[in-house]
Structure 1
């Protein structure tokens, strides 16, 4: 089972879109996929028509009840309407974790421990992380084999990326194996100088860490979210889906070469 996390310390960069797009493409070729929503805002959970304010069992239980059994972890998972895609939903109660985590040890590995119970049930796990460095993002980074960092192609997003890279350096000092990552340019609009110059800057500074796939501004993503379906189901030929398909090919090739 491979675990990929999608994270950035800046919001609004396309994290949830990245999770659902990759999940959809993996499921279409027969992989069993689990999405994990660790963002208290619950955008991923809401995408699939579950209410983070009302849901009874969620990722919050991984922290509230740290000694869950295999059957209890499995009971937190809900099915989506997309074939081969399940969801470990978020609850807004996740927002209270930072306060509750003060003075507690070991909470940074709760997600990693829970996922061990699921290794025979799924081929891929994709984690949607909150845009804040805290116990939830630490869990996502500690649990994953590979990190995807969506970065909006505009100046302020590039500054946010610098913070994310410093966080990775910090995490790597605590991990046994170095965390590999891919920077994914998003919201690209080749008609604007801001997008063009930002993409050029990404390549100049981060080189081969920047994905060859560039996700364009694509209204089909919004249409897919309105319907609650993965983007490739709505329109497999859209520019955005093609970009994520290229990203996925690169990630799978990276895995084979690892």
Structure 2
């Protein structure tokens, strides 16, 4: 089972779109995929038609006191998505209280990793949607994954947010036995604007080894897919955005293959 987290310490950069699009592409070729929504805003949960304000069971339950996470605690949280090979562990607004509860608590940063150990034979891939804030939830996402995807909107303020994210990755790596590798994904690219063009150029200059060659364009088809709760590749497999994510996925799978060798 391969675990990829999607994170950035800035909101609105395309994290949820990245999660659902890659998940759909993996599912389309037969992989079993689990999505985990660690963002209290619950965008990923809402995408598939669930209301984070109404859900009684959510990923929040994995952080319930010092109770050891059992297999039943994980499997009862699983919800169906619009794709038969994709399942979801949803978020709830109660997760916003976790930061306060985590103060002084031990082991809170590994709850998701422990939970995934119970379903490692059930899925081929796990994709984790992280909140845009450094705290116990993002720490869980970083601790649980083998590779990190960092979507970055191609505009100046997003580049400043990326600097904070890279500092966080470096901090996390000091506590890991194996360094967490990451891929920067340029998003919302519009070649007609100087802001996008210059931002992409700066990303290549500052992060030549981490930036993906796949650039995700502005594409209204993503919005149309979210309205219907469908993964974008099912909504319109020929769209520019889906083609760009497919190119990204091919590079990620090739990287994974090389690392295995």
Normalised to the residue count of structure 1, the TM-score between the two structures is 0.99
Partner of 1:200: 201
Deviation at 1:102, TM superposition (A): 0.8
Superposed displacement of residue 233, structure 1: 0.4
Cα deviations across residues 199-225 of structure 1 (Å, max 9, x unaligned)?
000000000200000000000000000
For 1:47 and 1:72, the matched residues in 2 are separated by: 23
Q: Which residue of 1 aligns with 2:231?
A: 230
Alignment partner, residue 55 of structure 1:
55
Q: Distance in 1 between matches of 2:35 and 2:244?
A: 20
Residue matched to 2:167:
166
Question: What corresponds to 1:209 in structure 2?
Answer: 210
In the alignment, is residue 40 of structure 1 matched against residue 40 of structure 2? yes
Deviation at 1:67, TM superposition (A): 1.4
After the TM superposition, which residues 33-112 of structure 1 pair with which residues of structure 2 at under 5 Å, given as runs? 33-65=33-65, 66-112=67-113
- Give the distance between the partners of 1:119 and 1:102, measured in 2 at CA: 29
User: 2-side partners of 1:253 and 1:93: how far apart?
Assistant: 38
Q: Distance in 1 between matches of 2:160 and 2:5?
A: 20
2:6 alignment counterpart: 6
For residues 174 and 158 of structure 1, what CA distance do their matches in structure 2 show?
25
User: Which residue is 1:239 aligned to?
Assistant: 240
| Secondary structure at 2:134 match in 1 | coil
TM-score (structure 2 length as normaliser): 0.98
1:31 aligned partner: 31
Structure 1 moving runs of 4+ over 3 Å? none
RMSD: 0.6
- 2:124 aligns with 123
- Displacement, 1:229? 0.3
Structure 2 equivalent of residue 188 of structure 1: 189
The alpha-carbon deviation at position 68 of structure 1 amounts to: 2.5
Rounded Cα–Cα distance in structure 1 between residues aligned with 2:257 and 2:183: 15
Any stretches of 5+ residues in structure 1 without a counterpart? none
CA distance in 1, matches of 2:151, 2:82: 26
Task: Check the 8 A contact 2:69/2:114 in 1, yes or no.
Answer: no
1:73-131: CA deviation from partner (whole Å, max 9, x where unpaired) = 11111111212000000011110000111110110000000000010000000000000
Query: Which segments of 5 or more consecutive residues in structure 2 lack a partner in the other structure?
Result: none
Q: 77-86 or 31-40, which moves further after superposition?
A: 77-86
Partner in structure 1 of residue 16 of structure 2 = 16
